Amino acid sequence: MSDQTAQTRVAKAQEAAADSAATMVPVRIAGIDAVLTKKTVAPSRSAPKWEIDARDRVRSAIRRYAKPLATLIARDANEAETRLLVTDFLCEGLGYDKYEDLTMEYQVKGEFADYGVRIDKQLVAFIEVKRCNQKLDLRHLRQVQMYAVNEGVEWMILTNGQAWQVYHLTGGLPVVVDLALEVDLLGEDPRSAKADALFYLSRNALKKRLIHEVWKSRAATSPKALAQALLSEGVLEAIRKEVRRQTSHNAEPKDLARILREEVLRPEALA
């Protein structure tokens, strides 16, 4: 066999395998050693049983508590009644033990948080509950933030039964508070989407710190983080070069930063 013929056969064999993703394996063609691409399929990995059970439990609880929650809202139930529903949801839906994991009226320097959440005797979060028809706002966040700062706790949860907001607190001067996730139990999102979000608030998921990845991802792409990236020296220099390429105008980075702050970016992203 001529060298040209052998090379042609190898080329055709390689072309036939070109679209496969790949592990390189040796094959032999007409006495010539060659390397082809062999398609490999990664083995499917099902979620561990505890996770499947936790997600199913959350999904069932969302369905089960939708009607009682709507009833409380319709009759403008008070905070104590809302707290009863929240307690049941925490236990039946999110897997917390009422006696081992939840401390109601947790005292913090003369004030009382609605719930202190312990996992394996370690205080990991505070929960503040408002009555079902009260809209959650910055005042409520500052209230639970005070508890978290005083006790060195990084997770804060606000809820009125319908809306659930989970915040992460990073200590320092000043402290940094990031919204990690937000769920509306009666909102228009599919039940599966609500369950997927609230799963990270379940006891076992919180114990395994899975919610940290959710927080890090959201914090990295928050308006404030992106605003800081846009105003960084490297990005401003890249913008200056692109403006010069498009318009021949050589703007100063400080002028670009001023325009971005005053005319492009929202004030809340700069706070």
Could you tell me if 59 and 35 are in contact, meaning their C-beta atoms sit under 8 angstroms apart? no
pLDDT of residue 1: 52
Determine, yes or no, domain membership for 253: yes
- CATH number, domain of 165, equals 3.90.1570.30
Domain shared by 80 and 169, yes or no: yes
Hey, what are 188's tokens?
Answer: 């228009």
Hey, what are 224's tokens?
Answer: 């404030």
Determine, yes or no, domain membership for 44: no
Q: What angle do CA 251, 254, 256 make, to 5 degrees?
A: 55
Domain shared by 101 and 187, yes or no: yes
Domain ends where: 211, 235, 261? 211
pLDDT of residue 45: 56
Domain shared by 161 and 236, yes or no: no
Q: How far apart are CA 99 and CA 45, in angstroms?
A: 35
Domain shared by 119 and 91, yes or no: yes
Closest C-alpha among 2, 3, 7, 5 to residue 34: 7
Place of tokens 């989970």: 166
Domain shared by 66 and 145, yes or no: yes
Determine, yes or no, domain membership for 234: yes
What distances in angstroms separate CA 157 from CA 72, 73, 99, 129, 183, one per listed residue? 20, 20, 19, 8, 11
Range of the domain at 13: 3-39
Domain shared by 154 and 202, yes or no: yes
Number of domains in the chain: 3
Closest C-alpha among 263, 264, 270, 262 to residue 227: 270
Domain shared by 189 and 233, yes or no: no
Place of tokens 């990270």: 200
Beta strands per DSSP E along 75-170: 102-108, 111-119, 122-129, 155-159, 163-170
Contacts 24+ apart (CB under 8 A), 100-105: 101/203
Q: What are phi and psi of 40, to 5 degrees?
A: -125, 145
Place of tokens 């104590």: 80
Determine, yes or no, domain membership for 217: no
Find all residues with CB under 8 Å of 100, minimum gap 6, and list them. Answer: 118
pLDDT tens, the chain, 271 aa long: 555 444 445 444 444 444 333 333 333 323 323 333 333 333 335 889 999 999 999 999 999 999 999 999 999 999 999 999 999 999 999 999 999 999 999 999 989 999 999 999 999 999 999 999 999 999 999 999 999 999 999 999 999 999 999 999 998 888 989 999 999 999 999 999 999 999 999 999 999 999 998 888 887 887 888 888 999 999 999 999 999 999 999 999 999 999 998 999 888 788 7
Domain shared by 99 and 139, yes or no: yes
Domain shared by 175 and 242, yes or no: no
Determine, yes or no, domain membership for 218: no
Q: How far apart are CA 77 and CA 58, in angstroms?
A: 24
